Structure 1
Amino acid sequence: MDVRSQEQITGTRMSWNIWPSTRLDATRVIVPLGCLYTPLKETEGLQLVEYEPVICKGRDCGAVLNPFCYVDFHSKSWTCPFCHTRNRFPQHYADHITETNLPAELLQMCSTIEYIIPSVACQPPVFLLVLDTALIEEELDQAKDSLQQSLAMMPQNALVGFITFGAMCYVHELASTTLPKAYAFRGGKEYTAQQVAYQLGFALKNDPRGTMGAQAARRFLLPVADCEFTLNSLLDDLSRDAWPLGGHDRRPYRCTGAALSVALGLVEATCPQGS
């Protein structure tokens, strides 16, 4: 299938269209392997299944059975393409799976699939908006308008957070309605989830269950219904990054890597159940 047609179906775009088959090939990849994913993308013919996903038993993996897994029909097992762990199929899979009788997860046309799990209470979705403020004024206005349109279409119970970056990275506190407040992170440094939690003030040493930390983290991730006005006001008042360029022939400073590490650390620290 054509790469662009595949993107329309799955909502994903990879930096490489061929997965390295060996570790040696992986070391020769100059451009890092990355993926852009479009959440909540409307897909025609999306396969819906009403059962639990089959998950890899590999340590710190948690990948789900998919069409790219190697299946051994003789031993009734499958190998994870991410960690190369060999897993046995559940009994109800092993009793019926054959080369001509495959579950939906292994069909090539079902690389994107949605599981309906009625027995599990689903957590609300989390949207962490990361905005580059080193853009020119026209592009920044377009980006702000797009974010405001996206915010209006989000479910009211969805959790949303807001991060901006230029030469520095700023995590905005959405619970503050009277005086806008943001926490600054240096742009030349990467941050772990623990460092982000400590700097934002919700990683407490005497809180082993994390209850006090979870309450403090609500300042940065709030339901859309509670922070839509605050976030729209922040976007309306947001201006281009004022950090000096260092010369007329130089591009603006952008701490994209630091902003992504802060965003990832914030999500890991506040939503561990989604990891």
Structure 2
Amino acid sequence: KPPSSSSTSSSPPTSPKHSRSSLADDITIVGGNRTGIFVSHVKAGSVAEHCGLKEGSELLELERILFGGGSVSLNQCTAEVAHFTLQWWTEPSSLKHQSNPEAYSKLCSELSSRAFSGPDSFYARVNLNMEPHGDPPSLAVSCDNIVHVTDTRHNGKYHWHCSLVDPLTAKHLQTGTMPNYNRAQQLLLVRLQKMSLAQKDFKRRMFLKKPSSRIRLVKAVDPSCRGGVGSSQHVLYTLNKRNEDHLIPYSLVQPVQVQTKRPVIFSPSLLSRGLIERLLQPAES
């Protein structure tokens, strides 16, 4: 199942500032983009309770919170993004929800299972090398590695729990944690700054470790412009909705099952041998 491209620290970014206090403190939520977002507890006598929220309510959409009055579909959000987005909830009527006891009961059963890996599910290609850090240490990943993210609020923090996967079979190879998108974005910015300085200093460039500085620059693409395999599945997995952010540490990808091998044709044939030899060389050569 080779994936095809479709276009941190545990600290969250700066908390949103509201003209009115957030109603998010009235509720506790569980779930993610795989399971849906549900209310597991409502504060008695709160505004949230008065607007009809109760245990088992599925959260669908938060209206009028983006610039231009846009809305966020909570059923497409990861656990992290849903939690962060609800900090902007100030108008009771702006939150759309429905009762879904069957799905909530299924989620509760999963949460109580020892085999439960997390409420989220999406695959991402890593665009920079990252060394282990923290206690316990995070996963060591290399540029172009594929990870399967299963929990974006691991232990209640904005930190991702995921598995490194085989790019051909999608089989899980190693499990651990990784910086969330925003923290990884900061790490990518620092890496680019260091590489820029190293290019101006020959001695520093000579001693710079090549493996740790490898990055993959990806052009930002508006999700609405994406086409091709898996384009119908949209996952909101970053805390920043601005498309002008060009530092992309993780690119969303999807597993694709190929039934038969597809031929590759090189033209003109005069170049075939040289191209094949180059393609068979190791990536670092």
| TM-score where L is the length of structure 1 | 0.25
- Per residue, is there more strand in 1 or in 2? 2
| TM norm structure 2 | 0.25
Instruction: Name which structure has the greater RCO, CA cutoff 8 Å, separation 6+.
Output: 2
